[in-house]
Amino acid sequence: MAVSAIADIKQPMCPSRLILEHVTSRWGVLVLVALLERSYRFSELRREVGGVSEKMLAQTLQTLERDGFVHRDAKPVIPPRVDYSLTPLGIGAAEQVSELGRWIERQVDAVQAAREAYDEARARS
């Protein structure tokens, strides 16, 4: 499989765009941030992320596993036990989006004030 010598996310056909989409999707970010704390079983992770449907969590985990960010460890026991954790590549991605998430949390008041100012200005025009 040929890999682009120079990835440029601004280019429409760059494969990095799809990876960016997976990592920065709503559920992708939240799964990565949760798994940065520790490994989780599926039901634990669903509770930790909050608001994600079973179907979306399964799709997100599968996508992140395919991209090499998540490791799925299925243990051959009854009942079956599956644990999800981050790979070294996943830890790097999770640290990046986690920092962005913390920055956003610190900016909530400023963003809300900007929204209110914008809405007021639009209402006057």
Q: List Cα–Cα distances, 100 to 24, 41, 104, in angstroms.
A: 10, 25, 6
Q: Domain for residue 8, yes or no?
A: no
Q: Domain for residue 109, yes or no?
A: yes
Q: Domain for residue 5, yes or no?
A: no
User: How many of the other CB atoms lie within 10 Å of CB of 69?
Assistant: 25
State the pLDDT confidence band at 79, using cuts at 50, 70 and 90.
confident
**What is the value of pTM for the model shown?**
0.88
State the Cα–Cα distance between residues 29 and 118, nearest whole angstrom.
Answer: 28
Query: Domain of 44: which CATH number?
Result: 1.10.10.10
Predicted local distance difference test score (pLDDT) of residue 2: 54
Among all chains, which residue has been given the structure tokens 């039901």?
A: 43
Q: Domain for residue 6, yes or no?
A: no
Domain count, the chain: 1
4 in Cβ contact with 15 (< 8 Å): yes
Whether a cis peptide bond, with omega within 30° of 0, leads into 79 is: yes
Q: Which H or E element spans position 124?
A: helix 88-124
Q: Is the pLDDT of residue 125 over 90?
A: no
Give the closest residue to 100 by CA, choosing from 24, 16, 45, 47.
Answer: 24
What pLDDT, in 10s, does the model give residues 30-78?
999 999 999 999 999 999 999 999 999 999 999 999 999 999 999 989 8
State the Cα–Cα distance between residues 86 and 36, nearest whole angstrom.
Answer: 7
Task: Give residue 45's domain range.
Answer: 17-124
